Amino acid sequence: DIADKLMASLGSMLLYWYHYSHNGKRIEVETDDDSIGGHFLHLLHGVEPSQSWVQAMHVSLNLYAEHEFNASTFTGRVIAGTGSDMYSAITGAIGALRGPKHGGANEVAFDIQSRYETPDEAEADIKRRVENKEVVIGFGHPVYTISDP
């Protein structure tokens, strides 16, 4: 099935492109990893990932796929619902994921995280920002109407 082949191949295609476009480096894309997340991390870093990293990657992938009815899921469903092909649906979903208010927000959150030297410094600044009702990427997601885990 096309979807299975795409899921199995996407990480290899993406990481090959990444290493080649950024470093001019051709990589071997075959690994012994038994999961998509493990394979992706192995190709990204060039070494077999630890189980904790693989588990974190799987959690992240599941959150992207199943976090309510998010923009990328909606986009993929709309494109598939029009009768278009699987490649177009996945490409459209990835395009939506790239936006700064969806998947691109992770980059902003990482930039914010990088400014702190210690966990205590991060906690104090985030608390101050929340108390001042400032937007803090990663907190206050609209889907959590009662509390934000």
pLDDT band of 106, cuts 50, 70, 90 = confident
- Across the chain, mean pLDDT equals 87
Which residues, including other chains, have CB under 8 Å from residue 67's CB and lie 6 or more apart? 73, 143
- Torsion from C-alpha of 23, 29, 32, 34, nearest 10 degrees: 100
Length of the chain: 149
Q: Which of 147, 10, 12 is nearest to 65 (CA)?
A: 10
Angle at 148 between CA 49 and CA 75, to 5 degrees: 70
Tally of CB atoms within 10 A around 146: 4
What's 118's DSSP letter? S
Task: Enter the pTM of the model.
Answer: 0.62
